[in-house]
Each structure stands twice: as C-alpha cells, then as structure tokens.
Amino acid sequence: MNDLNQQAAAHYGKNFLKEVEDRVEDGEWVKMCMQCGVCAGSCPLGPHWEHSPQKIFRMIMAGKRDEVLSSDSMWMCTSCYNCIVRCPRKLPITHIMHGLAHYAHKLNIAPKGQPTREVARLFWNSLVQTGRVNELKFSLAVYFKDGFVRGIKNALAMQGIGLKLMKAKRLNPMEILGGHKCKDAGGIKKMLAKAKEIEDRRQGFSS
Amino acid sequence: MAEMKTAAYICSGCGLGDKLDIAQLGKIAQKEGKMALVREHDFLCNTEGVQMIRDDIEKEGVTHICIAACSRRAKTEAFHFPAVAMTRANLREGVIWVVAEGSEHDEVRQEMADDYVRMGCAELKKVKLPEGNPNRTQLKSIMVVGGGMSGLTAAFEAAESGYQVILVEKQAQLGGWANKLWKRVPYKAPYAEPQDTGVAKLAAKVSSHPLIKVHLNSTIAETSGAPGRFAVKIAQESGAVTEAAVGAIVQATGFTNYDIAKLPELGGGQANVVDQAGLEALAQAANGGALKRADGKEIKSVVFLQCAGQRDDTAKHLPYCSGHCCATSIKQAMYFKDANPEVNAVVVYQDLRVPGMGEDFYRSAQHKGVIFAKGKASGVEPTGNGCKVNYRDMILDADATLEADLVVLATGQVPSAGVNLDIWDTVVREADGGSEAAKQQKSELQKISVLNLNYRQGPDMPQFKYGFADSHFICFPYETRRTGIYAAGPVRRPMDMLQATEDATGAALKAIQAVENASLGRAAHPRSGDLSYPIVRLEGCTQCKRCTVECPFGAIDEDERRFPVFNEQRCRRCGTCMGACPVRVISFENYSVDTVGNQIKAVEIPDEFSEKPRVLILACENDAYPALDMAGLSRIVYSAFVRIIPVRCLGSVNTIWITDALNSGYDGVMMMGCKKGDDYQCHFVKGSELANYRMSKIGDTLTQMGLEPERVSSFEVAITDNARVAGFINEFVAQLVKMGPSPMKGFG
C-alpha cells in the first residue's frame, strides 16, 4: 500500500461512503441510489463489468473500499450515458464511474495494466507535454505499450490504414520529430498545475 | 293504487324502426300482452315522448308502464316515473345491436324483439310500485367504537356533518396508538420530515364537540337491532351500563403489534432489540434529543429489520405485508439522524414499500444519510454491549453482518376485529351439545368480542382474510356483511395513519348514508335507495331456516316459534332468501318468483322441428347484464336464440325458474354471475357462490326429467367481459344445437 492510499484509508476508517462523498467527483450522489438495477440493465457493456454500477454503489455503502477501488469495473465505462438517462433517481452514474476510476488511479490502487487506464495515461502524458496530443506518437505508444514484439505486430496490422491516412494528408510522419505545439505550452502547463492544486485541496490531499 | 292500468310504449328511434316491425310489436303488446294502452313513438326519450307518457299517467290514469326501447340501464333520467311501476323491454342493446346484420336474420331478430315485448308485458302484470319499508326510524346518531386516529376522525367528520356521535373507547384516554408516537410519517408536502401526530389536538376537538359524547374506559356489552334502530349497552370499567340507541356503527378498533416474543431468532426478547412501538417510546423519552437505550447508553448505531414476522411463507408468522412499516422505519431512522447525523442508521429491507408520497420521504432519508441495505436478516445475536445482525445481502449475494447498539424489528399489524365467527360457530355448537370446555371457551370469546351483537350469526362481523374485519375489498371497501356497521382503519386492512384517516372519513359517510336510507325506508348499499323490501307470507313458511342461514348479511333472525323475522333495515335486497325459499313465500313488490317466472313463460317456444333453440339467460344485473349491454354497444354479435332476464343477484335465482323453463321447452339455461370464492366480486358477497352450490344439486333433477345436465350451466362474467360473454353464448348455443332439441318441447 502506498502513502496516499494509506493516509486516506486511515482518515476515513470504515466509512468509505464518506470518503467517496468527499473525494470522488459527484460522490455525494452515491447514497441516493435505490438499488433498482436499471443502470446495470442499461449498460451496453454490462456483461463485461465485474461489478455493475448498482453493485458498486451498494459496495460503497457496505464499506468495501479495497474491492471497489481496485476493481476494473468502472474502467469499463464507455461514457454512453444510457444509465444517466435512465436512472430514476437521476444519479450522474457515468460521472461517478469516471470519478471513482480517477480516484483509484490517483491513489495508485487501480488495476495495473488495465487497458483503459493505460491508454488514458498515454493520452494524458502526450497532451501535457505540448498542449496538444501528438497523434503519431500517441498511436505508437499505444501499439508498444505491451512490449516491443507486440508493438511491431500492432504497427504492421495497422500499416494499411496508416498509409491511407498519409496519402489523405491526415497523418504527417514528420510529427515523430516533435510535432507542432500549441502557442503557449508553458501556459497550459501552469493551468493544469493550478487545476491539480484546486482538486487536491478539495479532495483533502494538499495539506 | 287501487286499479291497475297498463300501458306499453314502443320506440322506433335509434334504428329500431328500420330493423323491426314496430306495428307487429304493438299488436303483440295489445293482444298477447293485454296492455290497455299501446303507443308507438319515433323518439320516445325526447321531451315530446316523455311528455306523452307523463300525460297518460296523469290523464289516463296509467299505473303500470312497459317501455320497449333501450336497455333498462340506458336513459334512466328520461324514463324516470317514480309514481308508476315500470318494466323495460330491451330492444336496442338486447336485439338490434347484437343480432347479425342482413335480411337473412330478419326473422330471428323480429322473434327476439317480439319475445322481449311479451316478457316486458308479462312482468309488468306482476310488479307493484314499491312503497318503501314501513319500519322507519328517524334515529340518525352514529356510534364509533374505538378512539384512536381512525375512530376520532370518523367521530369528528360525522359530527361536523351534523350527526350526533357516541364514541366508545376502551382506554382511559383518547388517541390510541397515535398517543404513543413521537412523530408521524409526513402527510403534507414536501413529505420530507416527520410531522407531529396532531392526535392531541384532534382528541381535544372531539372531546369538546357539542355533538359528540365520549365514553372512556368503556366497552360494548351488547348490540342489537338494525340500521336506524341499534340498541347498544355500553359497559364502563366500573360496571355501570349505559344504554344508547344509534342509527349506525363505525368499528375502528385498530390493531396490536405482532408480538416480538414470537421472533426469538430475530432477537425478540433480547434487551437491545425493540419493536417499532418500543422505539417510539425511546423517542418520546428522548424528546428530540439523542436517543438512549433502556440501560441509558446513547445509541450510536441502529439497525432496522423490515418484514420481521411478516410476509412469512413458513406459516409461522404473519403472511401479509402491513404496508406502513417501511415508512415508519424511515421515520424512526430520521429520529436518530435529526438528533445526531453521526449515528449510523441502517435499514435492512427486502422490498422497500412506501405507498402514497412515501418515495419523497425515502429520498429525504437517503439525503440525511440513512443507509438502505437490500437483504434478509437471518439472526440477531447479543454481543458484549449491543447486537450483531446476520443477514444476506441480496445485491452483493453474500452473507454479511452489522454491529449495532440497538436493533428495531418492524413487526406487523394484527387486527383487533373481535371474535372469529368460524371458531364461534364450532364453540357454540359444542356448547349447545353440553361440552363444559366449550361453554368456558364461549364466555372467553364473548370477552374479546368488540360489538357483542346478538345476531344469530355471531357476536362480531365476519372476518375477511387473516383475521381482518370484513370488507368488500374489491369494490366497496367500507362495506361489511353487517348492514349499518362499517369497518374503518387498520381493523379492516393494514394501513398507515393517513390511510386510516381517509378510511375513517369514508366509513363515516357510509354510516350517514345508512341512517338516511333507513329513515326513508330504503335499502343500504349496494342497492342504495331501493324502496322494495322482502315481504314474507308466513302462513306458507315451513320453518326450514334456509333463508336465515343463507342471508349473507344476517338480516333474518328467528322468533321463538322458529319463523323468520326479517330485519328489513339490515336487508340489502339481493333476494338470496327468495332464491333459497323452497316454498316461495318471500318476494319483493317489484321482484319476485312471479315477475321472473311470468317472463320465462311469456317466451314463445318454437317447436322441435324449427331448428330454433331457445336459451334462457339469467344475468346478474350488477356485472353480467351491463357486460351484455356493453357487447351491444360495441356491436358484438351473439346468438338470437337467447332470452335474457336480469336478476338482482344469482343468489336470488330460485330453482323453480330453471325447472319451469326446461319444462316449458327451453333447450338450455345459462346463469351469469360474478366471480365467487376468496377473491369474490359478488356485490352481495355470497350470492354467486350460493347459486353455484344450488345449481350443483340440480343435475339429479335434470336427469330425472330425462335431460342432459349440461343444459344448465353457470358462468362467471365480469363487467368488462363484453367480448367474452358473446363467446360464452355462442359456444353454449352451438353445444345445444349439437345436443339436439329438448325432449320437453311441446309438453309445456
């Protein structure tokens, strides 16, 4: 267990619901779930979730902290918003799932190598460097995230599409040399740092 | 009405004139129906047509009219002639709307109409204008038994409507259970916070009301009589007895909580396990502050177990849901959260049921942080300083435990409805047989009786399911089988305080209706306003007791010579006694063995070579007859070989009608009534059941007559069965055609 996670667990004890309410985006909605299961039935990826949103909410109320935060369930959310549209209690379920995933990532107890988590991390890393996502580098990074051999195979498999994109001038191979940046990359970085500071303060991490 | 002058009015409107030979119908009314006056009109229900009838009544001295037009259920406002006796021949809904189109059906259509005119005229000769029950009283006071929320409400509402009220309460003060509550579930928007019960205020208003007389520490020692003339002995704890006369009674005797001692597996009997009433007591003691256990410890965690000893399928506990307990537990969880938001309050439920506006209340509790866990508790164990609840989490499908300082069991409501008459009957029979133990038991039962009625049917009203007081559950909730006695509140079915107050108001209105009807000599529900009443020709009576036993409403007592004594005010005018009477001495002025018998005989029966069978349909006028009318309204075609006679209830069907019909050459008889059994829909509760029972015995008679028993059949028809009923008719007629004509034809 890492420091941040230990601190949080110690601070909230058995009251995981309170932790979620305080620290997870839209977490204060969790207690309003009435366990009807409409979200679980509406999710197009439902069968691929270890725990449906309905169960996640019940687990939070039952204090099952580690099971929830280390689960890959909320990483399965594709943001289709079916559950939000249908929830009779108007819970922003999609946002809560993202919030939980984000919180688990931040505490670094989200499942390692979880594809959504990894792609999101690569996307973010690419974005913060120049203020723009470098599509070529990002694609290559995704191809090679599971090792060199796997990466070559992925790249070969996607070769045809890549060539077509180049022909259509949708992909510039020169981007590999650094690519174009936004006008004020430093400003972007400052802005993101400020946002993190605000978020940390709100979640109680800053002190 | 010394002399009878008859008149028939035949309408040719609504397409009757196009489809039927009206002149021929007129001729039949005159020649066969022997009507003194026959008039045709092409729009009988318009002002001009109605005026024509009025003029005849005034100037020609017409006393009996037969209107051959639409169904007796249509145009009742236009054809309202209270001064004369009336019959209706149903030519529209009963003939032209249900017989197939086309000239090939002209003959059977006309025959059907001819018969209905014959029947209308034949019936007319046997009906009298009902004059109303001569035994009338102007006694309009209402007694309310029970001074809880329901009783107080019933008393107050009746008094506010201007009626004298006598309120009898067993306890030393008014208020009942409501007194013991800290707060009640909200009954006003925004339905978010527990509200004051308001019972003290209501009790004060009742106590000081000039029209209400309150008897505390009192029970009912004896009730006798009938609506408009109940005589009641009110016994005080001291032994003093007050006699009172009242017009109607509302029984609002409420409930007791299911005993938690019967739930040892859920901790019943443990120090830190209480029922909802126990929790209210703790809340009253806390007076808005932090709730403390009996041992003085402040409660930091509480678990509510819903459906404790309820919805039980093992036959050990209550099988039903009491309806109020989910909202009550939500309210009680709020007591804790409102006093201290840090208290951990968990409600373990199987299905959270919050009727009415309870969903808002539920949401409010979630906002306050009450945790709701869908699960079923399997056991409660004492721990060092509290309890451990073992339960199955039904969402996570896993066993789980909860630690709590206090466990609250949401037990159900057990009605205080008095004596179970089934047990009473057995005990009385054994006591009459000389059993000492039974005599002892009988006096024990008398002690728990609420009303101590001196009716032959027993000291209380019959009980519906699970010991709740009688109620016509589906259609008329406040109605019981004891006319003029209305059940209100949780004694009738489990309910919360808001429902109980609504219930009490409804029952008070029914009581008012009962005393008003009794004062005018009219029937109570469901034939409210009916002026006819049963008349018995005692010189023909054989004292067989069938009428007294079969009357679903206990309206008939026996005198010392065992002759029936009719308490007309208790009578609902269903005619079940008339159907039961083997010597046919019971009749109503406008409904008797003869009024129907004459119609049956008036139908012209074609000979056996005509290939035109005749089927008699006796249809309950509450559901089956409207369904048949509705079939006409939606132009659903059925066989033109049937002749339909509406009856008040299948219970009023006397088997003589069936044998008469078959003897005179009908090929079959269909009886259409309401659903019977536990979930009956019979307006008179037992009518359709009794008819079915009587008909089960008629097979032998038919066999003796050389007839197939299938020629007489009963059908359950609901008011919505318009399409189904046509199917029944067509199938039955097809079956008769296959069977061939009745061998009785030509002998009648």
Tell me the per-residue pLDDT of B455-474, one tens digit each, with 9 for 90 and over: 988 999 999 889 999 888 77
pLDDT above 90 coverage of chain B, percent: 88
Q: Which residues of B touch A59 (CB under 8 A)?
A: 396
Q: Which residues of B touch A35 (CB under 8 A)?
A: 372, 374, 395
Which pLDDT value is given to residue B304? 98
pLDDT at B1 over 50: no
Q: What is the DSSP letter of B297?
A: P
B15: left (phi over 0), alpha (psi -120 to 50) or beta: left
Of B363, B366, B396, the CB nearest to A58: B396
* CB of B68 closer than 8 Å to CB of B96: no
CA-based nearest distance B342→chain A, Å: 11
pLDDT above 70 coverage of chain B, percent: 99
Which pLDDT value is given to residue B528? 86
Domain with CATH 1.10.1060.10 in chain A: 3-111
Same domain, B507 and B572: no
Residue of A nearest to B367 (CA): A32
pLDDT in tens, B154-174: 999 999 999 999 999 999 999
pLDDT at B746 over 80: no
Summary mean pLDDT of chain B: 94
CA neighbor of B124 nearest in space, from B27, B21, B43, B4:
B4
Q: How many CA atoms lie within 13 A of B212 on its CB side?
A: 29
Same domain, B200 and B334: no
Residue B526 lies in a domain: no
Beta bridge partners of B87: B66
CA-based nearest distance A27→chain B, Å: 13
CA neighbor of B556 nearest in space, from B531, B542, B576, B537:
B576
Q: What is the DSSP letter of B459?
A: S
| Mean pLDDT computed over B359-385 | 95
CA neighbor of B259 nearest in space, from B287, B278, B245, B240:
B278
| Mean pLDDT computed over B607-626 | 93
Q: What is the DSSP letter of B316?
A: S
The Cα–Cα gap between B424 and B485 comes to 19
CB-based contact A35 B372, cutoff 8 Å: yes
Q: Which residues of B touch A68 (CB under 8 A)?
A: none
Angle in degrees, CA B257, B262, B264, rounded to 5: 125
CA-based nearest distance A98→chain B, Å: 22
The Cα–Cα gap between A95 and A27 comes to 9
Count of H helices and E strands in chain B? 20, 29
Residue B352: pLDDT band (50, 70, 90) is very high
pLDDT at B267 over 60: yes
Of A31, A54, A55, the CB nearest to B366: A31
Interface of A with B in 41-80 (CB under 8 A): 54-55, 58-59, 61-62
Which pLDDT value is given to residue B475? 78
Which pLDDT value is given to residue B98? 96
Same domain, B646 and B702: yes
CB-based contact A34 B352, cutoff 8 Å: yes
CA dihedral (B598, B684, B425, B414) in degrees, to 10, reads 180
CA neighbor of B174 nearest in space, from B113, B119, B215:
B215
CA-based nearest distance A23→chain B, Å: 17
Same domain, B303 and B250: no
Distance separating the N- and C-terminal Cα atoms of chain B: 34
pLDDT in tens, B190-227: 999 999 999 999 999 999 999 999 999 999 999 999 99
CB-based contact A61 B373, cutoff 8 Å: yes
CB-based contact B366 A35, cutoff 8 Å: no
pLDDT at A77 over 60: yes
| Number of structural domains in chain B | 5
A-B CB pairs within 8 A amount to: 32
Same domain, B21 and B62: yes
Q: Which residues of B touch A61 (CB under 8 A)?
A: 371-373
| Mean pLDDT computed over B167-194 | 95
Residue B429 lies in a domain: no
Same domain, B262 and B249: no
Q: Which residues of B touch A34 (CB under 8 A)?
A: 352, 362, 366, 372
The Cα–Cα gap between B206 and B480 comes to 26
Residue B136: pLDDT band (50, 70, 90) is confident
* CB of B511 closer than 8 Å to CB of B496: no
**CATH code: domain of residue B181:** 3.50.50.60
Q: What is the DSSP letter of B144?
A: E
CA distances from B185 to A126, B178, B311, B408 (A): 57, 11, 22, 17
Same domain, B635 and B724: yes
Query: If residue B220 lies in a helix (H) or strand (E), which one and from where to where?
Result: strand B218-224
Angle in degrees, CA B23, B24, B28, rounded to 5: 120
Helix (H, G, I), strand (E, B) or coil at B327: helix
Residue A66: pLDDT band (50, 70, 90) is very high
The Cα–Cα gap between B393 and B373 comes to 7
Residue of A nearest to B345 (CA): A61
Specify the amino acid at residue B687.
G
**CATH code: domain of residue B554:** 3.30.70.20
For an interface test with A, give the residue of B301, B326, B353, B395 to mutate (most A CBs within 10 A): B395
The Cα–Cα gap between A83 and A197 comes to 31
Of B362, B366, B400, the CB nearest to A62: B400
Q: Which range (A74-78, A203-207, B282-286) has the least confidence?
A: A203-207
CB-based contact B366 A32, cutoff 8 Å: yes
Residue in the structure block whose two tokens are 């009336």 = B86
Residue B417 lies in a domain: no
CA neighbor of B645 nearest in space, from B110, B71, B7:
B71
Q: Which residues of B touch A89 (CB under 8 A)?
A: 363
Structure tokens at B26: 């007129």
The Cα–Cα gap between B352 and A36 comes to 11
Q: Of all residues in chain B, what percent are helix, strand and coil, respectively (each to 5)?
A: 35, 20, 45
CA neighbor of B527 nearest in space, from B390, B614, B628, B652:
B652
* CB of A20 closer than 8 Å to CB of A102: no
Structure tokens at B187: 């009954």
Helix (H, G, I), strand (E, B) or coil at A84: helix
* CB of B252 closer than 8 Å to CB of B144: yes
pLDDT in tens, B60-111: 999 999 999 999 999 999 999 999 999 999 999 999 999 999 999 999 999 9
Cis peptide before B190 (omega within 30 of 0): yes
Q: Which residues of B touch A (CB under 8 A)?
A: 352, 362-363, 366-367, 369, 371-374, 393, 395-396, 400
pLDDT at A203 over 90: no
The beta strands (E) that lie in B551-705 are given as 556-558, 564-566, 586-587, 615-620, 642-647, 668-673
N residues, chain B: 748
Same domain, B154 and B63: no
Query: If residue B112 lies in a helix (H) or strand (E), which one and from where to where?
Result: helix B106-124
Which pLDDT value is given to residue A161? 92
Q: What is the DSSP letter of B620?
A: E
Which pLDDT value is given to residue B457? 87
Neighbours of B291 (CB within 10 A): 23
Q: Which residues of B touch A62 (CB under 8 A)?
A: 373, 393, 396, 400
| Mean pLDDT computed over B689-714 | 89
Residue B426 lies in a domain: no
| Mean pLDDT computed over A4-22 | 90
The Cα–Cα gap between B209 and B200 comes to 14
CA-based nearest distance B497→chain A, Å: 25
Residue B381 lies in a domain: yes
Same domain, B661 and B570: no
Please identify, among B412, B427, B453, the residue that sits at the C-terminal boundary of a domain. Answer: B412
**A146 versus B508: which is more confidently predicted?**
B508
Of B362, B363, B395, the CB nearest to A58: B395
Q: Which residues of A touch B371 (CB under 8 A)?
A: 17, 31, 61
The Cα–Cα gap between A205 and B16 comes to 89
| Mean pLDDT computed over B563-587 | 94
Same domain, B245 and B263: no
Residue B496 lies in a domain: yes
Residue of A nearest to B396 (CA): A55
**B528 versus B14: which is more confidently predicted?**
B14
pLDDT at B611 over 90: no
Which pLDDT value is given to residue A179? 79
CA neighbor of B739 nearest in space, from B700, B697, B695, B708:
B708
Query: If residue B587 lies in a helix (H) or strand (E), which one and from where to where?
Result: strand B586-587
pLDDT in tens, A41-62: 999 998 899 999 999 999 999 9
**B371 versus B704: which is more confidently predicted?**
B371
Angle in degrees, CA B720, B724, B727, rounded to 5: 155
The Cα–Cα gap between B115 and B117 comes to 5
pLDDT in tens, B702-729: 888 888 999 999 999 999 999 999 999 9
Of A17, A55, A89, the CB nearest to B396: A55
Residue in the structure block whose two tokens are 């029984």 = B251
Interface of A with B in 80-119 (CB under 8 A): 89
Q: Which residues of A touch B369 (CB under 8 A)?
A: 31
Q: Which residues of B touch A32 (CB under 8 A)?
A: 363, 366-367
Of A31, A35, A89, the CB nearest to B374: A35
Phi, psi of B210 (to 5 degrees): -65, -25
Same domain, B733 and B610: yes
The Cα–Cα gap between B604 and B601 comes to 8
Which residues touch B305 (CB under 8 Å, ≥6 apart)? B266, B348, B377, B380, B389, B391, B407, B408, B409, B410
For an interface test with B, give the residue of A35, A67, A73 to mutate (most B CBs within 10 A): A35
**B531 versus B745: which is more confidently predicted?**
B531
CB-based contact A31 B396, cutoff 8 Å: no
CA-based nearest distance B733→chain A, Å: 51
Q: Which residues of B touch A63 (CB under 8 A)?
A: none
Which pLDDT value is given to residue B310? 96
B745: containing domain: 605-748
Classify domain A3-111 at the CATH superfamily level.
Alpha-helical ferredoxin (1.10.1060.10)
Which pLDDT value is given to residue B706? 86
Q: What are the DSSP calls for B55-111, one per residue? A: HIIIII---EEEEEES-TTSSTTTT--TTSEEEEEE-IIIIITTSPSSGGGHHHHHH
Q: Of all residues in chain A, what percent are helix, strand and coil, respectively (each to 5)?
A: 70, 0, 30
Residue B278 lies in a domain: yes
* CB of A101 closer than 8 Å to CB of A109: no
Which pLDDT value is given to residue B566? 92
